[in-house]
Structure 1
Amino acid sequence: MIVFDLKCAHAHVFEAWFGSSTDYEDQRTRGLLSCPICGDLDIAKAVMAPNVAAKGNRAPATPAAAIPDPKALMAALAQAQAKMLEGSQWVGMSFADKARAMHAGEEAAAPIHGQTSLAEAKALIEDGVPVAPLPLPVIPPEQCN
């Protein structure tokens, strides 16, 4: 098995496992790969750091107890994000329009979260609309099991 970091045309990066590089290419050319965040079918390999093993005759530079557990860190980050989103409404791809309307006073201000393009997010920030990216992708409610 081999793992690749993949990226959609909307810059969402995600991880996927394949039996081989050939399996990845076969699935990509047949259109079987899609972004789990937005469903985009325009998928390519993302830049990823190589996994180079340390020499077998070297002691680790840092004691294992001092290295934070990545799974625990991700779980804590996911828990913090879930807490941030409590009471927030998912508005999907209408996020930019809703945020602008709230900023302009056309709609009542309320906590919302959703999706938008990188260009639109930059435009919102340039226009003074208070927005911030979430640290982890959010699965739309209609795609949850």
Structure 2
Amino acid sequence: MIRFSLHCDHDHDFEGWFRSNDDFDTQAEKHLVTCPVCNSHKVEKALMAPSVTTGRQKEKIAVAMSKMVTELKEMAQKVRENADYVGSDFAEEARKIHFGEVEKRGIYGEATGEEVKSLLEDGVDVMPLPVFPEDHN
């Protein structure tokens, strides 16, 4: 996807996302690109500054990513230390806890995509527990 800065004939500036430059051109020719302010179909691409990441920005991003991974690892470790592992029975146990059939407690385990979707539809709060490469050693 490409983000374009756009400009209409009434001096309104806005942005739009397109698959390609040709995609924008095709949509503009068919009057499918309109100004969100005045609904004008006379829209053109405006000049944009290129998005360039400097070495300093890359370093900041790397530090932030490293901090985030460390925090995720700590959170996953706390869950493993303080919750019961229920394996492939996760969906069944989560429902029992949610509906008050068993005592409330923290659990973790495995669930298929369909099981997770069904749990969410039933109002059961779940979230994925990140698994890191070193967790498999």
TM-score, with normalisation over the residues of structure 1?
0.47
Relative to total residues, which structure has the larger helix share, 1 or 2? Answer: 2
**Which has the larger Rg?**
2
TM-score, with normalisation over the residues of structure 2?
0.49
